[in-house]
């Protein structure tokens, strides 16, 4: 869980706690040996499964024991959908994973086991969405929970617009929720996916009558349209101006810039239409530079402004790339400003000095375009 303090190294261990820990370890070792021996003997009786459950409640990361339970339940769950035995088995497995996840909400093995149950088609997807919503209300940045939510929502055919609205609720509750920002990077390309069209000419070319045509292909995720990017950049501004030190919104901002650069014409701006498109992109970059300038001017302590300074440097590099060949004097001034910003970052963030040095030498990616 986030915010849990670490015990400093070298802190003397309490003798009573050490004794209790040693006893628990001995019990766990005996139980583990017993369960693994039963698995080797292919014992799938209720007593063996109860011992396996007891072991997993103590340590859910013993993935071999989860495999043991799947081996024992496979025939029941796959061959008798709707039977009393299958329903009882599903209920038991769901309860076990819930018990385990309440103690360890980031157990990879427990989440995988629950996902296995969903993939068998024996679990209510509506109930799963409600449960994971409750989990994220308590542990909003649990990336296992977010990944599971995306998985369940996809199987339940939940419209991406609904999940986008949910991510927005989480962001409004806490701008620092990186998982909610990340969810938008997954959802927005689908919401704004390019819709393929099938014309009558296409059907005739394929020697098909309209009535015999195959279903139209699904929409293809692609770059977010610029009008939508404008809305997202406005949203990010609210977060960055609220807490300039928090990296979550800044990382999302960089992703938005990659989406913006995907709109740069392959021709590099040649032709009247392309030149206009490049100019519109440059206008967006310039507006973001101005926003960073305003933010930096309003912050009295630049030592707490690593992220806006880094973003400012990247934006200036982007504008320099778009402005290439438009004036030696202007280009020289921009490059000097970029060097000054990266030099400042070396002082503010010495642990990443090597990265900023690479950036100065042009060896670090400014913004990676989406594939």
- Is the pLDDT score of 216 beyond 50? no
pLDDT, greater one: 203 or 233: 233
**Mean per-residue pLDDT, 187-211:** 60
Residues in the chain: 371
Please tell me the predicted confidence (pLDDT) of residue 213.
Answer: 43
CATH topology of domain 225-360: 1.25.40
Please tell me the predicted confidence (pLDDT) of residue 79.
Answer: 66
222 vs 74: CA distance, rounded Å: 40
Q: Which residues of 176-215 are buried (b: 16+ CB within 10 A; e: fewer)?
A: bbbbbbbbbbbbbbbbbeeeeeeeeeebeeeeeeeeeeee
CATH topology of domain 26-191: 1.25.40
Helices assigned H by DSSP within 266-305: 272-298
Mean pLDDT check: name the lowest of 15-24, 41-50, 177-186.
15-24
Please tell me the predicted confidence (pLDDT) of residue 57.
Answer: 95
Q: What is the pLDDT of residues 324-344, one digit of tens each?
A: 755 555 667 888 999 999 999
26 vs 316: CA distance, rounded Å: 61
State the CB neighbour count (10 A cutoff) for residue 121.
11
The SS3 of residue 194 is: strand
26-191 and 225-360 share one CATH topology?
yes
Query: In the chain, where are the structural domains located?
Result: 26-191, 225-360
249 vs 181: CA distance, rounded Å: 7
Which pair of structure tokens corresponds to residue 60?
């859910």
pTM: 0.83
Alpha-carbon Rg of the chain, whole angstroms?
27
């Amino acid at each position: 869980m986030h915010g849990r303090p670490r015990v400093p190294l070298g802190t003397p261990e309490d003798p009573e706690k050490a004794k209790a820990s040693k006893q628990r370890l001995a019990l766990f070792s005996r139980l583990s040996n017993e369960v693994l021996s039963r698995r080797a003997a292919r014992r799938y009786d209720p007593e063996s499964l109860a011992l396996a459950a007891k072991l997993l409640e103590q340590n859910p990361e013993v993935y071999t024991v989860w495999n043991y339970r799947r081996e024992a339940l496979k025939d029941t769950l796959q061959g008798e959908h709707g039977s009393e035995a299958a329903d009882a088995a599903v209920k038991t497995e769901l309860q076990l994973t819930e018990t385990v996840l309440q103690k360890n909400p980031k157990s990879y093995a427990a989440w995988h086991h629950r996902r296995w149950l969903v993939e068998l088609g024996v679990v209510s997807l509506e109930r799963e969405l409600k449960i994971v919503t409750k989990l994220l209300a308590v542990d909003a940045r649990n990336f296992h929970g977010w990944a599971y939510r995306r998985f369940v929502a996809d199987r339940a055919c939940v419209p991406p617009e609904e999940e986008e609205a949910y991510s927005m609720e989480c962001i409004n509750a806490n701008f620092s929720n990186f998982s909610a920002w990340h969810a938008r990077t997954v959802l927005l390309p689908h919401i704004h996916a390019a819709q393929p069209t099938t014309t009558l000419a296409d059907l005739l070319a394929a020697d098909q009558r309209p009535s015999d045509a195959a279903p139209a292909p699904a929409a293809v995720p692609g770059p977010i349209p610029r009008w939508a990017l404008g809305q997202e950049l406005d949203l990010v501004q609210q977060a960055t101006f609220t807490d300039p030190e928090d990296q979550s919104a800044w990382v999302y901002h960089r992703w938005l810039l990659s989406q913006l650069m995907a709109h740069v014409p392959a021709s590099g701006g040649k032709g009247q239409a392309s030149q206009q498109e490049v100019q519109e992109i440059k206008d967006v970059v310039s507006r973001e530079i101005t926003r960073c300038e305003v933010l930096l001017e309003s912050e009295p302590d630049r030592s707490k402004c690593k992220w806006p300074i880094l973003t400012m440097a990247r934006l200036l590099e982007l504008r320099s790339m778009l402005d290439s060949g438009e004036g030696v004097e202007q280009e020289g001034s921009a490059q000097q400003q970029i060097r000054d910003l990266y030099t400042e970052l070396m002082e503010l963030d010495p642990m990443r000095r090597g990265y900023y040095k690479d950036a100065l030498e042009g060896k670090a990616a400014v913004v990676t375009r989406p594939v």
